[in-house]
Amino acid sequence: MSSVIVKREVVMRSIVTENLRNQLMAELETAAQEVQARIEQLDFQTRSYITDLQRTNLQQAMVVKKQVEAEKKRHEDLKDALAERRAQVLELVDGAEIVRGTMESWVEVKVGDNLREMLGGVEIVTKDDEIIDIRQRAADEQIEDDTVQRLISEARNADA
């Protein structure tokens, strides 16, 4: 066998523009609204249950109430983090590159290839959703944490 196909990471980067800033702000606002809706739903769904439980088992009602409050606090913390991130998005400088996320791609490696270079990954750079560059990333380069996308994903998956 002289070659094999393996997975590697592809980093998605975007050039900051007014359009990107608006898109990120909209995504963060939507995520914050979803988190707020979950808080309200949790409060609504548990209020009558806890009230009924207090009549029969006060101790268990207190335990359940404490668990619900902890879950609401977790959602509130996420909402605060999203608000902080919105402020950071407003400070992004036009023309700067930010990491939007990662995905995987397949690459064929063969005898004689530099494995470190081949698995180092690829970066796709976009500007207003148009690909403007595709780069080979060195294997030892660190990818900065993409907090915006991570927070949006956490908000969408908060009840999982």
Give pLDDT, residue 150.
62
pTM of the predicted model as reported, rounded to 2 decimal places: 0.70
Q: Each residue of 94-132: pLDDT tens digit? A: 999 999 999 999 999 999 988 888 887 789 999 999 999
Residue with tokens 């796709």, as numbered in its chain: 124
Asked whether the predicted pLDDT for residue 1 surpasses 90, the reply is no
Residue with tokens 């029969």, as numbered in its chain: 56
Q: Is the dihedral of CA 79, 81, 82, 86 positive or negative?
A: positive
Rounded to an integer, what distance in angstroms lies between the CA atom of residue 18 and that of residue 41? Answer: 34
Rounded to an integer, what distance in angstroms lies between the CA atom of residue 67 and that of residue 42? Answer: 11
Strand order of the β-sheet with 3-15 is: 97-110, 3-15, 122-127, 130-136
Rounded to an integer, what distance in angstroms lies between the CA atom of residue 32 and that of residue 53? Answer: 31
**Lowest-pLDDT range of 6-20, 25-39, 43-57:** 43-57
